[in-house]
A = this chain, B = another copy of it.
Amino acid sequence: MPRPKAAATLDDVARKAGVSTATVSRCLNAPERVVKATREKVMSAVRDLDYTPNFAARVMAAKRSFTIGAIIPTMDNAIFARGLQAFQEELHAHGYTMLVSSSAYRPEAEEEQIRTLLARGADGLLLIGHDRETAVYDYLERQMKPVVAAWSYRADGRIPSVGFDNRTSMRALAEEVIKLGHRNIAMISGISQGNDRARLRIDGLRDAMRAHGLDADALPLIETRYEIESGSEAFSELMSAPQRPSAVLCGNDVLAVGALLAARRMGLRVPQDVSVTGFDDIELAQIAQPALTTVHVPHREMGRRAALALIEMIESEGKGTSVNLPTFIEMRDSLGPSPSR
């Protein structure tokens, strides 16, 4: 294979396009900030000279890698896919690229990936939730890199959060269920170990039960993986109890859809024989039959705001401001009055 010819420099491109080197940099990294005519002049010079930016030089000049790491449980989940897409779009608009690692909901995998992404020179990190060892927070502080937690708001967290209140959101949904006369309530939750979002939703349901004189400790509860089949199995198990629940609250829409499928297989009508609710309001919630009553979470807005928070922390070297995004209950057909009314 032939050797590559001597590479064109940033100066060469700037000279050819008749602009400053700063303008050339901006065209390549934050093109939305450059007037179209200028951008076209520069890109034309870039192509003619076959210019590939010397990333190392820019990194040294800015003392920044313009790369931000995101560690999420999995990409194969509508809420993270949606939120991460918005996160990456905002990063890109500001000239940053995203490194992604997934931890499969395992805290030890998250810790290893935090070290790895920082070793790769990430300027900042996006993490999910607040469940991690104190030692990991201590390590992050010593690295002096901006870190933001998303999907879970916590006023007193070690790091800023861009999230929402999982506990009060689920409580509000449970209140609607209780208002419709349901007394025998059951829950299908995600695995709460290492997952504060799942745990806080269980707490929220119990808060609502206590507020209405129901025995929160007697709550029939199954924790399982966020998968449709797991939701189906859990639902069948709950409905085989001597005292059948009249409402099954699910930790997310995926579990709720699993519950709906199981109900259909068992010949149970939703909501006439049993009500089912979800959490998140992903597209599936509207397509399911019946459509799911659920908590609407603004995933895209959260991803976008998390990106802005990180960029601000990196560029202003500030501490970062937490954001608590509002959620609301989306009332649809899967929740109806208790059959015993």
Q: Mark A159-188, 1 if CB is under 8 A from B, else 0.
A: 000000000000000000000000000000
Q: Mark A252-278, 1 if CB is under 8 A from B, else 0.
A: 000001000100000000000000000
Q: What's the minimum C-beta distance from A64 to chain B, rounded to whole angstroms? A: 12
Q: Does A143 contact B (CB under 8 A)?
A: yes
8 A Cβ contacts from A91-126 to B: 92, 97-102, 112, 115-121
A28, B115: Cβ atoms closer than 8 Å: yes
B92, A97: Cβ atoms closer than 8 Å: no
Give which listed residue, B52, B74, B118, contacts A118 with CB less than 8 A: B52
B92, A55: Cβ atoms closer than 8 Å: no
B81, A76: Cβ atoms closer than 8 Å: yes
Of chain B, the residue at the smallest CB distance from A254 is B283
Task: Please tell me the size bucket of the interface on A.
Answer: 35 or more
A75-B67 contact, Cβ under 8 Å, with A101-B97, A112-B31: no
Give which listed residue, B29, B54, B65, B139, contacts A50 with CB less than 8 A: B139
Q: Mark A69-101, 1 if CB is under 8 A from B, else 0.
A: 000001111101110110011001000011111
Of chain B, the residue at the smallest CB distance from A54 is B119
- Stretch in A149-157, A241-249, A284-292 with 4+ CB within 8 Å of B: A284-292
8 A Cβ contacts from A265-316 to B: 283-284, 287-289
A100, B101: Cβ atoms closer than 8 Å: no
Q: Which residues in B have their C-beta under 8 angstroms from that of A65?
A: 120
B76, A82: Cβ atoms closer than 8 Å: yes
Q: Does A4 contact B (CB under 8 A)?
A: yes
Q: Which residues in B have their C-beta under 8 angstroms from that of A117?
A: 97
Pairs across A and B, CB under 8 Å, 6 listed: A56-B121, A75-B75, A77-B81, A80-B81, A97-B120, A287-B287
